[in-house]
Amino acid sequence: MDRGRYSCALDGRSVVAMRARELGRKSVVVGDRVELVGDTSGAPGALARIVRVNPRRSVLRRTADDDDPTERVIVANADQLVIVSSLAAPPPSTGFIDRCLVAAYDAGIEPLLCLTKSDLVSGPPPILDYYADLDLRHVTTRAELPPETLREKLTGLVSVLVGHSGVGKSTLVNRLVPGAGRTVGEVRSIGKGRHTSTSVVALRLPAKGWIVDTPGVRSFGLAHVSAASLLHGFADLDRGTEHCPTDCDHTTTHGECTLDAWVAAGNTDPRRLASYRRLLASRTAQE
Ligand SMILES: Nc1nc2c(ncn2[C@@H]2O[C@H](COP(=O)(O)OP(=O)(O)O)[C@@H](O)[C@H]2O)c(=O)[nH]1
Ligand SMILES: [Mg+2]
Ligand SMILES: [Zn+2]
């Protein structure tokens, strides 16, 4: 999307379209399946109109901050959230990854952890210990090798790439989509305010499927996720709440929360509980 013009894929060609008035206030986002009328030739200067947005199979949302309830839909109809995190330079941030996991669960899409820059570290990455009790799929990549394992996991699916700046997303996209021409090693600033657009783009994979790059998405505000749903992003902890009192809010101030005992018994990494409670606290601050 660029200045009210949407680029739509139709039978292998790219058709530029604008929203038709009958759409009203309904949003059109990357990944939406739409119905077009008018000039769909894709010829230079041709302009079609989007008259209908089909029901969405999945919706990936975020809020700008935990304390800003304004909800934004980032991508519709995605199958997979690829959480890109470098093993070094910068080191992985479990706080960010945990947020992404909550967002993926909330969106109803599968998370895949992609650990980049494996050439900069040796031995098994400690971050995998942190997620050992979670059924989290992962791949590792390094710039000098073609990302074959990742490519296989993307084939035929719509995958959204998220990650901090500098972790190697553009490098990956350029390897996966020849000719994508994503700028490497540069942080693109598209305006400075938080209300500016984030230029999310969908790129077609040569094999089959789409990859959605989200260069402007730096954080996943989770104000739109309820406290109960937050726990669904922590399946390893969710299992430990079976014997909590029904009104348990799982915070430390609730004396009868059984999560501390669950963690002490070695069921999952204690840092996972700390991370969950940090997320809970960041949300309660705004309520
Ligand atoms: N050592 C190493 N550096 C990498 C790797 N992948 C990317 N980089 C470097 O990391 C920096 C940021 O990469 P970029 O793709 O722009 O990251 P983005 O901000 O997430 O799009 C660049 O200098 C890349 O050359 C890798 O696997 N190993
Ligand atoms: Mg980039
Ligand atoms: Zn509890």
Stretch among 27-31, 53-57, 219-223 having the lowest mean pLDDT: 219-223
Instruction: Choose one of 167, 171, 188, 218 to mutate for the ligand 1 pocket test, by most ligand atoms within 8 angstroms of C-beta.
Output: 171
Q: Residue 252: nearest ligand to its CA? A: 3
Q: Which residue has the higher pLDDT, 245 or 3?
A: 245
Ligand 1: residue of 184, 199, 200, 218 to mutate (most ligand atoms within 8 A of CB) is 184
Asked if residue 119 has its Cβ within 6 Å of ligand 1, the reply is yes
**pLDDT at residue number 185:** 79
Residues 221-240 have a mean pLDDT of: 90
d(CA 84, CA 74): 17
The residues, any chain, with a CB within 8 Å of residue 245's CB and separated by 6 or more, are 254, 256
pLDDT, greater one: 152 or 200:
152
> What pLDDT, on a 0 to 100 scale, did the predictor assign at position 284?
62
Asked whether residue 148 carries a pLDDT value surpassing 50, the answer given is yes
Angle between helices 270-284 and 94-107 (to 10 degrees): 70
Measured by CA distance, the residue closest to atom 9 of ligand 1 is 168
Q: How confident is the model at residue 208 (pLDDT cuts 50, 70, 90)?
A: very high
Whether residue 145 has its Cβ less than 6 Å from ligand 1: no
CA of 41 from ligand 3 middle (Å) equals 58
Closest C-alpha to 153, from 212, 83, 82: 82
Q: For ligand 1, is residue 120 a contact (CB within 6 Å)?
A: yes
Does the pLDDT value for residue 192 go beyond 60?
Answer: no
User: Which residue is closest in CA terms to ligand 1's atom 25?
Assistant: 185
Q: pTM value?
A: 0.92
Q: Coil, strand or helix: which one is 160? A: strand
- Which one of the ligands is nearest to 215 CA? 2
Q: Are 222 and 283 in contact (CB under 8 A)?
A: yes
Ligand nearest to the CA of 140: 1
Q: Residue 186 — pLDDT band, cuts 50, 70, 90? A: low
195, pLDDT greater than 50: no
Query: Does ligand 1 lie within 6 Å of residue 86's CB atom?
Result: no
Query: Looking at residue 217, what is its pLDDT?
Result: 77
* Cα torsion angle, 110, 116, 118, 124, sign: negative
